[in-house]
Amino acid sequence: MTTYTVLIILSALVIFSYLFDLVASKTKLPSVLLLLFLGIGLRLVVDKFEIHTYNFLQILPTLGTVGLILIVFEGSLELKYAKDKNKVIKGAFLSAFLILIATVAVITFIIYQITGKELYLCFVNAIPFSVISSAIAIPSVANINNKSKEFIIYESSFSDILGIILLNFAVSNQHITVGSFGELAINTGLILLLSVIACITLLYLMGKLRHHIKFFLIISILIMVYAISQSFHLSALVLVLSFGLFLNNADTIKHAWFRSKFIYKNLSNDLIQLHQLSAETAFILRTFFFVIFGFTMNIYQLNDFNTIANGLIILACIYFIRFAYLYFFKREHVVPEGFVTPRGLISILLYYNLPQHLKLTEIGTQFLFMVVLGSSIVMSIGLMSSRRKVAIEETH
């Protein structure tokens, strides 16, 4: 395969992804779903013509991690804080936390019934299936009402953060003691302190840098701090969410000393450019990640009836728990929010970050693919049907 052929393929993927985004904005069909199908189609073509390809599984976790950082950062840059939003933030956090705990418990039981392995192994393997993917949820709700959109951005971001915290905690503490929770509290305090330091430092740098290239530098520093924090098992996605929120709300801080040191003349213009840059970079990374994920999946594994049946049971439990919680505790966010609980980029990353000795062979990538694909399809149908319902109501 020549250099020019590779360039043609990469450019075509970006063009297709752009067209998929246009389709998504009109139909509520997530572009991620179309990208997965594109990846599957490419795999079928490659298999048919026996074309030799690169082992893309080697770059998938790295590509996904950077994409996750930028997608959460982009989403947080759209959020404006106000005291009257405390209720939304608190509600989104409780929703993410309680639904995550309930879903992990139920899926742990399902995996135990499937495999018969010890509960600890079932528990750690259940976590990737239980986390809402902000990488799919945030772009998918771009065109719904602001109240619902804000709730989904907060909830899916919190779900990602809590999922990472839970997996790190579970992997590091096979036998839970009082000291385990003490270590968790210390790690949480450290990441919050690091978030404050990083937010102030990066904002200061943005104001002082005079070089014409500065936004990629800021993003690179953010990614580096994230990677260092994750290396020490700190849930650094908190830092990414905090930085985006801090930047977008820094101008509301009235303290005279803070404003004199950190608020500069072109801050609002810089934020627009930074948001645009992060959005376009996230778009590229999301494109390649989901096409590669679809490409690396062996769809022939889905011929197994047990895989399909068990995958459908897991999907049914995910949606039953979500709708039950929203119906009883968040009546104003039942539809279309109930349908927006996709599994995707974060689920894949958590699965690949599981130590090999903890992975259950019976619950492999075929299950993951089934749940990612199934949740995206259900979300698509839900968003499209709710859109039609709103359109009918508006005409009467």
Residue range 63-79, pLDDT digits in tens? 888 888 888 888 888 87
**29 versus 220: which is more confidently predicted?**
220
Angle CA(271)–CA(275)–CA(277) in degrees, nearest 5? Answer: 115
- The single-letter DSSP state of residue 255 is -
| Residue 326, pLDDT above cutoff 80 | yes
Q: Which amino acid is at 260?
A: S
| Residue 312, pLDDT above cutoff 80 | yes
Task: Give the domain extent around 221.
Answer: 3-395
pLDDT at 23 (0 to 100):
83
Are the C-beta atoms of 124 and 101 separated by less than 8 Å? no
Over residues 333-362, mean pLDDT: 87
| Residue 315, pLDDT above cutoff 90 | yes
CA distances, 75 to each of 21, 131, 153 (Å): 17, 17, 6
**Helix, strand, or coil (residue 145):** coil
Angle CA(318)–CA(372)–CA(288) in degrees, nearest 5? Answer: 150
Whole-number Å distance between alpha carbons of 275 and 225: 19
Helices (H), the chain: 3-27, 31-49, 60-76, 86-115, 119-126, 134-140, 146-172, 178-208, 215-231, 237-249, 256-262, 267-296, 305-329, 345-352, 365-395
Say how many domains are in the chain.
1
CA distances, 370 to each of 214, 250, 307, 327, 355 (Å): 41, 42, 8, 26, 22
Largest CA distance in the chain: 67
**pTM (2 decimals)?**
0.85
pLDDT at 28 (0 to 100):
65
Kindly indicate the confidence band of residue 24, based on its pLDDT and cuts at 50, 70 and 90.
confident
Q: 92: which 2 tokens? A: 């989104």
Kindly indicate the confidence band of residue 314, based on its pLDDT and cuts at 50, 70 and 90.
very high
What percent of the chain clears pLDDT 70, i.e. is strictly above it?
A: 97
CATH number at residue 150: 1.20.1530.20
Report the 10 Å Cβ neighbour count for 19: 12
Whole-number Å distance between alpha carbons of 295 and 299: 9
pLDDT at 78 (0 to 100):
80
Q: Which of 277, 249, 281 is nearest to 263 (CA)?
A: 249
Q: Which amino acid is at 18?
A: Y
pLDDT at 325 (0 to 100):
94
Give the best-scoring range by mean pLDDT among 26-30, 139-143, 212-216: 212-216
**pLDDT tens digit string along 149-160?**
889 988 998 898
| Residue 390, pLDDT above cutoff 70 | no
Over residues 155-183, mean pLDDT: 86
- Nearby residues of 379 by Cβ (< 8 Å), 6 or more positions away: 30, 136, 140, 339, 340, 341, 342
Kindly indicate the confidence band of residue 391, based on its pLDDT and cuts at 50, 70 and 90.
low
Q: 197: which 2 tokens? A: 């330091």
Angle of helix 237-249 versus helix 267-296 axis, rounded to 10 = 150
pLDDT at 395 (0 to 100):
54
pLDDT at 219 (0 to 100):
92
Indicate if the alpha-carbon torsion angle 267, 270, 272, 277 is positive or negative: negative
